[in-house]
Amino acid sequence: MTTASSTESTTEARESASPVLSARDLRVWYGSTRGPVAAVDGVTFDVRPGETLGLVGESGCGKSTLGRGVLGLLPAGAAVDGEVRFAGKNLVGMPAKELQQLRGPELGLIFQEPMTRLNPLMKVSEHFEETLKTHHPELPKDQIRSRALEALRGMGIPASRYESYPHEFSGGMRQRIMIALALVLRPAFVVADEPTTALDVLVEAQIIQILADLRRNFDTALVLITHNLGIVAEACDRVAVMYAGHIVEQGDAREVFANPQHPYTQELLRSTISLGTTGLHFIPGSPPDLAHPPVGCRFHPRCPKAMRVCAEEAPPEVLLPSGSRNTCWLPVPDMTTAEGRLPLEVEEISVADEA
Ligand code: SF4
């Protein structure tokens, strides 16, 4: 049984461990007819062994691009800059062949839609044979089978389904097979990109439980990309909130949810529907065109707390006493009081003016 003190000591041990993966000033951009689109623009974070970092934000804020950028799985035409340190090496700029060798045994990815990744013409057994043979050609067939069955058992898939085809499973089971395939090589770091999208809430709960067991049992570091703040509150140790290619707030998930500091985080949380919701809230406007993002704080056209400085200069990242990091002018005392830094009337910076 896990006690409160053992949970605390596990958390402390995790926080003092060296990161499995560290991203520093990571940038990903695409060429377009409208100019370069900076989908990820100077992102910095760490993930430690056994830790789950939730990456949240609206659609189009750069979450999936960041997840794929970290693993070097971007489409042709994307450019990457900055540093992603893993096992003493920088993954950015690493030769494709070397990176390919790390993917699978060291770096895993769980995709959003399993049917796009599972070959409908291949049995489950063949998927595992292909994955394991690629990275462990020395493994005999019986060991491949026993490792595959162990991974499937961990996901609640019985051995009797080993010779079935993907279409013979429900959506939730297919997603669990995908997770088993990603984990059969025991990677140290995994990106799970919206792993529960399109699943019903019961299956979603199962998948989240599986991911929690995974990090507990294997000390796997996990980045969980989701738009579902409820999942992050339940399953993540830390959270990073993305807006328009930037991480605007990151910190301990409980602290950020209990005491959100960045106006975008506050607005996202206000927009979440729960049993206690009495009226719907939405953030006016939409995320900016990343080919031409707003000057200053990228959230200022939609921010209910915007000040004049927000429309002029990009805010600094401020380390708060809680340990959270917040990229906003509000915690900078001089900015809210000095001459010329007085709050803007919200209507002065309406979305229409920015369009
Ligand atoms: Fe709002 Fe200004 Fe903070 Fe941006 S910097 S989130 S516009 S208060």
Sequence spans of domains, the chain = 19-246
- Distance from Cα 194 to the centre of ligand 1, integer Å: 28
| Cβ atoms 131, 152 nearer than 8 A | no
- Any bridge partners for residue 326, and if so which? 249, 318
Q: How far apart are CA 107 and CA 1, in angstroms?
A: 31
Q: What is the mean pLDDT of residues 217-225?
A: 89
Half-sphere exposure of 314 (CA within 13 A, CB side): 12
Q: How far apart are CA 27 and CA 70, in angstroms?
A: 10
Q: How confident is the model at residue 224 (pLDDT cuts 50, 70, 90)?
A: very high
**Is the model's pLDDT at 7 over the cut of 60?**
no
160 Cβ contact list (under 8 Å, min separation 6): none
**Segment holding 234, helix H or strand E:** helix 229-235
The secondary structure of 189-229 as a DSSP string is: EEEEESTTTTS-HHHHHHHHHHHHHHHHHH--EEEEE-S-H
| Cβ atoms 82, 60 nearer than 8 A | no
Q: What is the pLDDT of residues 239-272, one digit of tens each?
A: 999 999 999 999 999 999 999 999 999 999 998 8
Pocket lining: 299 vs ligand 1, CB cutoff 6 Å: yes
Atom of ligand 1 nearest to the CA of 262: 6
| Cβ atoms 215, 52 nearer than 8 A | yes
Phi, psi (rounded to 5 degrees) for 90:
-90, 120
pLDDT value of residue 155: 83
10 Cβ contact list (under 8 Å, min separation 6): 50
- Distance from Cα 287 to the centre of ligand 1, integer Å: 14
Percent of the chain past pLDDT 70, that is, above it, reads 86
Q: For the chain, what is the mean pLDDT?
A: 86
**Is the model's pLDDT at 8 over the cut of 80?**
no
Pocket lining: 268 vs ligand 1, CB cutoff 6 Å: no
Q: For residue 349, give both structure tokens.
A: 């910076």
| Cβ atoms 28, 39 nearer than 8 A | yes
Pocket lining: 263 vs ligand 1, CB cutoff 6 Å: yes
Q: What is the largest CA-CA distance in the chain?
A: 75
At the second CATH level, the architecture of 19-246 is 3-Layer(aba) Sandwich (3.40)
Q: What is the mean pLDDT of residues 344-350?
A: 40
Q: What is the pLDDT of residues 81-112, one digit of tens each?
A: 999 999 999 999 999 899 989 998 899 988 77
pLDDT value of residue 340: 43
- Distance from Cα 330 to the centre of ligand 1, integer Å: 7
Q: For residue 68, give both structure tokens.
A: 């794929």
Phi, psi (rounded to 5 degrees) for 83:
-140, 135
Q: What is the pLDDT of residues 53-77, one digit of tens each?
A: 999 999 989 999 999 999 999 988 8
Pocket lining: 241 vs ligand 1, CB cutoff 6 Å: no
- Distance from Cα 300 to the centre of ligand 1, integer Å: 6
- Distance from Cα 240 to the centre of ligand 1, integer Å: 17
Q: What is the pLDDT of residues 13-49, one digit of tens each?
A: 666 789 999 999 999 999 888 889 999 999 999 999 9
Nearest partner of 327 among 90, 12, 57, 28, judged by Cα: 57
Q: How confident is the model at residue 349 (pLDDT cuts 50, 70, 90)?
A: very low
**Is the model's pLDDT at 339 over the cut of 50?**
no
Pocket lining: 78 vs ligand 1, CB cutoff 6 Å: no
| Cβ atoms 305, 230 nearer than 8 A | no
Q: How far apart are CA 302 and CA 309, in angstroms?
A: 15
CA-proximal residue: ligand 1, atom 5 (nearest): 328
- Distance from Cα 303 to the centre of ligand 1, integer Å: 6
Whole-model pTM?
Answer: 0.86
| Cα 77–Cα 82–Cα 83 angle in degrees, nearest 5 | 115
